[in-house]
Structure 1
Amino acid sequence: MLFSSNITRIQSFIILGFPGLSPQYHGAASAVLFLVYLAIVVGNIFILVFVISEKSLQKPTYLIFCHLALTDLSFGTVTLPKIISKYWFKDSIISFFGCFTQMFFVHYLGSVMSFLLLVMAVDRFIAICIPLRYPVLITNNNIFALCGFAWFIPLPLMIIVTLQALGLPYCQSNTILQCYCDHISLTNQACGNDLKIVQVITLCIAMFCLLLPLAFILISYVSIIIVILKMSNSAGRSRTLGTCTPQIFITCLFYLPRCFVYVANTVRFSFSIDVRILLILLYSLLPAAVNPLIYCLKTRDIKRTLMKRIKTNKIRVELKIRNN
């Protein structure tokens, strides 16, 4: 990295979090964020362990849920501990390379999630629109391959984004106006002739990772809805719609808040810094915390297996008490 004589290398960054938050609420903020992280960890580990331990659930749809849970768990672990420590232990310093590492994983995991949602949409499209081909096209091995591509495709792109950002000289403040390091927050502290080029390239990569999957997802779900509406049997319509309701909820939670923020930026609808940060946290972390509930409450097989396991354990406990 090259620096001119009047530019000093930044050794670390300061995570500002919520700029307008009064110090008296720092403890409450850290407690809320800790509870969110606890929900993310417990919920997503439960989904992973439950699906892996139940052979009846080791089907393509639930294997996709496992990949989504792993992504949500990783994202929460990458972002939340640092901001919790900022409010809990007054530790707001993150190293220069630590910030870029966090930035890489923030955007990489977000991109992986986008492609996994595309895989999920393809799974539902084939299951509903061409059901006779489903057992042939959607197998566990094929899902593993598709999910593998979802993890691999964003990897070189995010490496490019990170290396380009690393190559910029940083001559502004070292304060990150966010709860974690992301590309916009970091490059706002950069300068130099290459800054605009880096921002344009990053925007194009972001649009590829978000909008391209979203376009195919929309086409898939529109096709699914058309097929469902054409069904003559109302019970069949309701049952078929129920099989893709969890996927629609998860997709909406991921994309709708992001689209709202992007549209607001486009029409120049201004937010305060604190509201913007809160919106970003909501669309980043709320899906990770809520998705396990959607899997359990809205997915028939998981709900049925879970209730069966609970009843079995309850009977065992009652028998144990009687024997004693």
Structure 2
Amino acid sequence: MTNYTEILYKNSTANIPEFVLKGFTGIPAEYYGLVGTYFLFIYLMLACGNIFILVFVACEKSLQNPTYIIICNLAISDLGFGTTTLPRIIANYWMSENIIAFSSCFTQMFFVHLFGSCTSFLLALMALDRFVAICNPLRYPVLVKNSNIVILCSVLWVGNLVRLGLITGYALSVPYCGPNIIHHCYCDHSSIISLACADITAIKATSTSIAMTVLWGPLFYILFSYVAIISSVMKISNKEGRYKTFLTCTPQLFIICLYYLPRSFKYIASAVGYNLEANLRIAMIMMYSLFPALINPFIYCFRTKEIKDTLIKKFKQRQRW
């Protein structure tokens, strides 16, 4: 009897070898190829746009300034998130590869939240860049230098690496022995820990508080920055000058709304006990995770005067040749 109890205990605390990524439910099998092609198109657009930013800024010396260093870091984060999630989603719908190994799932979770967290802080860093440029333009060359931005970006990445390492280790400290079906297209923290065979109250409380800080901490600073920016811009007597200044901030405001508003809605809905239907919840998460990463290159580059002017100049040079 003692041996049987020990075996049962060991089996109940042993980690399961794999998880099953359920993804969207109710999609007929004949549409799997179409869904996979749709996600492949998104990934190719996302990858091409963000790689273009990185290569173009690396090759064009005139664009190697603090603003574009932040944009390049944002491009790395967006590209990393897309590469972490989309290839497996495509494989799921094209080849029915919906099984992911235990270690691979936790690795994916680590990078999903790493890139998501870095994006949040990078948007705040961009708000800081705009705040100093508009509210303290004379001190901008002194305060916002390439070296300072590189240091801040490095601290941002290293800090999030350490934080996500601790969170992942905390999630790994509990056993996973029961259900192994994840109702999502990729592995994330909340989906994984909900499958733990242990009391996860402390883990959920810790992860929720950290997630709120990572999400709303930068958002509050961004809101503060833009209130100050708008106040400063309204003092400009020249109507055309006000318009041009607002135009430089519009792209980031659009991305901020896309990034923060749906996430805030999801967290608040979860906190008050309002549970969205599974497919709607997954669709919302995929939208606010991938859409900003997809359109960032077009907003920050093709709507940016410096890049448009550089592209036009290079195009005219080629025509002369």
Scaled by the length of structure 1, the TM-score of the pair is 0.93
Are 2:249 and 1:238 equivalent residues in the alignment? no
CA contact (8 A) 1:154 1:209 kept: no
Give the one of 198, 203, 215 matched to 1:198.
203
Paired residue type of 1:302: I
2:67 aligns to what?
Answer: 61
For the residues of structure 2 that align with 1:314 and 1:288, how far apart are their CA atoms?
33
Aligned residue pairs: how many?
313
**How far is the alpha carbon of 1:268 from its aligned partner?**
4.0
Are 1:43 and 2:49 counterparts? yes
Counterpart Cα distance in 1 of 2:229 and 2:185: 38
Cα shift at 1:52:
0.9
Deviations 1:197-238 (A, max 9, x none): 111111122122221111111111111111111211111101
Residues 98-150 of structure 1 deviation map (CA, whole Å, 9 limit, x = unaligned):
00000001111111111111111110000001111101000111111111122
| SS of 1:132 mapped into structure 2 | coil
Contact conserved, 2:135 with 2:229, CA < 8 A, in 1?
yes
Task: Tell me how far apart the structure 2 counterparts of residues 94 and 274 of structure 1 sit (CA, whole Å).
Answer: 20
Of 10, 18, 21 in structure 2, the residue corresponding to residue 12 of structure 1 is 18
Letter in 1 for 2:226: Y
Q: How far did residue 313 of structure 1 move? A: 2.5
Q: Residue 261 of structure 2 is aligned with which of 230, 248, 256?
A: 256
Separation (CA, whole Å) in 1 of partners of 2:226 and 2:217: 15
1:129 corresponds, among 135, 139, 148, to 135
Q: Tell me the secondary structure at the aligned position of residue 220 of structure 1.
A: helix
Contact 1:102 1:181 in 2 (8 A): yes
My pick for the range that moved more, 250-259 or 172-181, is: 250-259
Structure 2 equivalent of residue 105 of structure 1:
111
- 2:283 is aligned to 278
Alignment match, 2:150: 144
Alignment of 1:207-218 (within 5 A): 207-218=212-223
Mapped partners of 1:266, 1:229: distance in 2: 38
After superposition, the Cα gap between the structure-2 partners of 1:11 and 1:313, relative to the gap in structure 1 and judged at 3 Å, is same
For residue 225 of structure 1, what is the amino acid of its counterpart?
I
1:315 maps to which residue?
320
SS of corresponding position for 1:131:
coil
Q: Is residue 84 of structure 2 the alignment partner of residue 78 of structure 1?
A: yes
1:226 counterpart residue number = 231
Which one is further off, 126-135 or 4-13?
4-13
CA 167–267 in structure 1, closer or farther in 2 if over 3 Å, else same = closer
Of residues 284, 289, 293, the one that matches 2:298 is 293
Whether the aligned pair in 1 keeps the contact of 2:16 and 2:178 (CA below 8 Å) is no
Shift, 1:307, TM fit = 2.1
Deviation at 1:241, TM superposition (A): 1.1
Measured in 2, the distance between the counterparts of 1:130 and 1:39 equals: 37
CA contact (8 A) 1:39 1:289 kept: yes
Name the CA distance, whole Å, in 2 between partners of 1:265 and 1:205.
Answer: 15
Measured in 2, the distance between the counterparts of 1:284 and 1:163 equals 24
Runs of 5+ unmatched residues, structure 2:
1-7
Superposition TM-score, scaled by structure 2 size: 0.94
Could you list the structure 1 runs, at least 4 aligned residues long, displaced by more than 4 angstroms after superposition: none
Does the aligned pair in 2 maintain the 1:157–1:205 contact within 8 Å?
Answer: no
1:319 matched residue in structure 2: none
| Pair 1:304-2:309 in alignment | yes
Amino acid at match of 2:88: K
Task: Report the 3-state secondary structure (helix = DSSP H, G, I; strand = E; otherwise coil) of the residue aligned with 1:181.
Answer: coil
1:222 maps to amino acid: V
1:322 aligned partner? none
Q: Distance in 1 between matches of 2:279 and 2:134?
A: 43
Match among 97, 100, 107 for residue 91 of structure 1: 97
Distance in 1 (alpha carbons) for counterparts of 2:89 and 2:98? 7
In 2, the alpha carbon distance for the partners of 1:259 and 1:224 equals 23
CA–CA distance in structure 1, aligned partners of residues 206 and 51 of structure 2: 36
SS in 2 for 1:39: helix
RMSD: 1.4
Structure 2 CA distance for aligned equivalents of residues 152 and 257 of structure 1: 27
